[in-house]
Chains A and B, each alone.
Chain A
Amino acid sequence: MTHTTLSAQNLEHGASASRWTTVLWILWIILIIGGVIGVVQRLMYGHLAAGYGSYVPWGLWIGLYFLGIGISGGSFIIGAVGFILGVPGFSKPSELRMAIVLSIAAMIPAFIGVDLDLGHMERLYRVLTAPTFTSMIAFNAWMYNIFMIVAVVTWLLSFKNGSVWLKPLLVFGAFLSILFPSQSGVFFEAVRINEFWHSPILSVLFLASAISLGAAGLLLARSVYGLRLATASDRNDEYHAVNWLRIILVLGILVYVVFEFAEFSIALWTTGPHSPNVEFLLFGDYWAVFWILHVLLGIVIPLVLFGTSQKGLWALAALLVTVGFAAARMCILVPGQISGQIPGLQQAFQDARLTYSYHPTSMEYLVGFFMVAVGMAIFYVGMRLSAALASRSQQQA
């Protein structure tokens, strides 16, 4: 949603600002209406309208949860490191705030998704009040909450000139932002009885994708939202920033591809315990998610678009990368759950929820819409609030 207080002249993409505003408002209204319908269905009928069960216990919302966590961690790392190092286009408080707001806006919907996935949503607080740190869920939950506090405090400190705590907290926040996306990988790696997940490469994949997603989110946010670019120097910095984001994105994608290839090529070269999972993903029921959504839409087309000099196409590429990594999350999540270890278990006691297959239902997609809509709304409100507070602190100064 475009900042309505900014004039078109102040925006680098001013000519397209009003068009973006209309498009985004329409998109948001569609997402929120659909999303509310989904959430109402979830609250009224529980998990009955969902596609997951006991043999595939996690579905779309967990995939989107890890997507949100990735965007959150990645945008904070990039914003904090760019600000501390004084990288042009990242060194101003307003540019730092955009990264922090995006980080928070991505994490809150992730919490919503995971809470709606619980069998007892009302007991979510127990993860904080009675945790067991042998579980990655408890460890991650605590880290997310500490990170959220750090993010909010750094956002507040960014309005204050010369705060001695800002940079140390940014370093601490960046440290957490490296840890928790990696721990998203550990969340799966720690499942020691699952050959497909129990691989240290997942941490690298999740970290690489988090940095790519953060860069994609920031590139998209800068393209459709726009920051105040009053001078030629500002516009130059903005160009450099977007270019940096493009480079980070391309590198992140390439690292992801290399490690993903390393993981899958072994399983295909020599048949091992997790070869059926890889074959299911590459050539089975999930081939379209992998080849079309993840590889074609999320990797090949974005790399081609990033090769052009059109910034509008870079924004499109960033959007596709986000969709592609959402698919990539599902490519880790679902194949890891589709093969049981006891032969004939699915046939032993037949029920729709006792099958080794999963397809998200319309209710799950609608709740996914809700998560995206909430994220967009938080980002919009956060940026409006940032602008208002920055203006007030300037007046006071």
Chain B
Amino acid sequence: MKKPHEIMDRREFLLAGGLVGAGTVAAAAVIVKDRLPEAPQDPTGDSTVRNLTVLKNVKVQENEDPHVRMQRELVKAMSKPVEKRHWIMVIDIRKCIGCHACTIGCVAENKLPPGVVYRPVTTQEFGEYPNVQIRFLPRPCMQCDNPSCVPVCPVKATWKRPDGVVVIDYDKCIGCRYCLNNCPYGARTSDLGRYHTTGEASGAPAGKDRPVEGAVSQWEHEPNNEYAKRWDRKGHNSPAGNARKCHFCLHRLEVGQLPMCVTTCIGRATNFGDSNDPDSLVVQLITKNNVQTLLPHWRNKPQCYYIV
């Protein structure tokens, strides 16, 4: 064992201290830099204004269906720049009958493969027979204002848009699944590249219409339109391999359509709109009712409200 003065000479000691010090300063600098607020990645301003003509020629009627009202409010919100809108969802679980139409509508709209789900509906049973109550709880992405899934992405592939929707850039996502483990709601699922129809041939009757053994049906290769782009998963292209989540059907909003889960809700339990519009249905619902959010103790500030 060396004596203390033999361990390092002064020059070596200074060099070692310099390296450690420089490394520490560099690490602190990059951490601080990335924690500072950044300019939005998405376009803002007039280029994001949409002058939609949906329902333009339909007169406003008293007591009209909430879907029609929300559609009008959607058109109104889209006429503002993106940074002036703030989308929220309000789910009246007293009205939800657990039909799962929203789940299926979402799967169809976004052409979700097996194992990927954006809006499951949970069933909770309370009490004992004969005093039993069943509660259905649809669980879309909460589009949190303080999302725990965003800062953990190592490649800036997910962020919160100016209109409040948390999005994923499928072309950037590396598929590390860190965001999945950082969502308390389990709202992100991984597209592992599976197909519904692989193995469809097994058990199918013989004949010229028999599916090819092991092949994926052509319809599964039809591209989906999430984020108003064309995504074809063939050959493990994105979004296969990516994290995926509900995005409030941004591609539908762009053309004046409500999210698919809202449109398919036969009980009118799911409401959607711009919380920056004080006259909107969603604002009325959250101010006049006893609303709750899921797991508020995580301070994610979820933007999906439940009327209980």
Contacts and interface: CB of A to CB of B under 8 A. Distances in A.
Interface string A76-103: 0000000011111001000000000000
B11 interface: yes
B192 A118 contact: no
Interface string B149-185: 0011111100000000000000011111110111111
Given A46-B236, A84-B7, A348-B139, A126 B172 contact: yes
Interface stretch (B14-22, B218-226, B273-281): B14-22
Contact of B174 (A84, A120, A176, A192): A120
Contacts of B114: 351, 353
A126 to B, nearest CB: 5
Contact of A119 (B120, B177, B181, B298): B177
A193 B192 contact: no
Given A349-B117, A352-B115, A353-B115, A191 B19 contact: no
Nearest to B171: A123
B1 interface: yes
B186 A341 contact: yes
A48 interface: yes
Nearest to A193: B184
Contacts of B183: 193
A127 interface: yes
A119 B123 contact: no
A131 B27 CA distance: 13
A340 B189 CA distance: 13
Contacts of A133: 30-31, 33-34
Interface in B94-123: 103, 114-117, 120-123
B189 A54 contact: yes
Nearest to A173: B19
A54 B188 contact: yes
A303 to B, nearest CB: 27
B interface majority secondary structure: loop
Contacts of B242: 119-120
B34 A134 contact: yes
Interface string A129-151: 01111111111010100100000
B241 interface: yes
A180 B56 CA distance: 60
B40 interface: no
With most chain B CB atoms within 10 A of its CB, the pick from A86, A171, A176 is A171
A80 to B, nearest CB: 11
A95 to B, nearest CB: 14
A48 B192 contact: yes
Contact of A164 (B15, B177, B188, B192): B15
A159 interface: no
Contact of B151 (A135, A167, A341): A135
A148 B295 CA distance: 42
A171 B175 CA distance: 35
A171 B115 contact: no
A261 interface: no
Given A193-B182, A341-B184, A127 B174 contact: yes
Given A193-B184, A349-B103, A120 B190 contact: no
Contacts of A53: 115, 190, 192
B69 interface: no
B143 interface: no
A56 B195 CA distance: 20
A309 interface: no
Contacts of A91: 2
A340 B187 CA distance: 11
A120 B173 contact: yes
Interface string A313-346: 0000000000000000000000011001111110
A131 B12 contact: no
B296 to A, nearest CB: 12
B190 A86 contact: no
Contacts of A312: none
A84 B177 contact: no
Given A137-B176, A345-B122, A54 B190 contact: yes
Interface in B30-81: 30-31, 33-35
B156 A118 contact: no
A168 interface: yes
B294 interface: yes
B238 interface: yes
Contacts of B153: 132, 135
With most chain B CB atoms within 10 A of its CB, the pick from A126, A146, A176 is A126
B194 interface: yes
Contacts of A117: 176
Contact of A191 (B23, B175, B181): B181
B211 interface: no
Given A84-B8, A85-B2, A138-B155, A48 B194 contact: yes
Contacts of A349: 103, 117, 120
Contacts of B103: 349
A204 interface: no
Contacts of B154: 127, 131-132, 135, 137-138, 141
B148 A193 contact: yes
A274 interface: no
A349 B242 CA distance: 19
Contacts of B31: 133-134, 139
Given A119-B192, A127-B174, A192 B122 contact: no
A336 B178 CA distance: 13
B209 interface: no
B186 A167 contact: no
A183 to B, nearest CB: 10
Contacts of A136: 152
A119 B157 CA distance: 13
A175 B22 CA distance: 12
Interface of A: 46-48, 50, 53-55, 57-58, 84-88, 91, 117-120, 123-124, 126-127, 130-139, 141, 143, 146, 164-165, 167-169, 171-172, 175-176, 190-194, 336-337, 340-345, 347-349, 351-354
6 contacts: A57-B177, A132-B155, A137-B152, A165-B15, A337-B181, A353-B190
Name the 6 nearest CB pairs between A and B, nearest first.
A119-B175, A119-B241, A86-B2, A168-B15, A348-B120, A353-B115
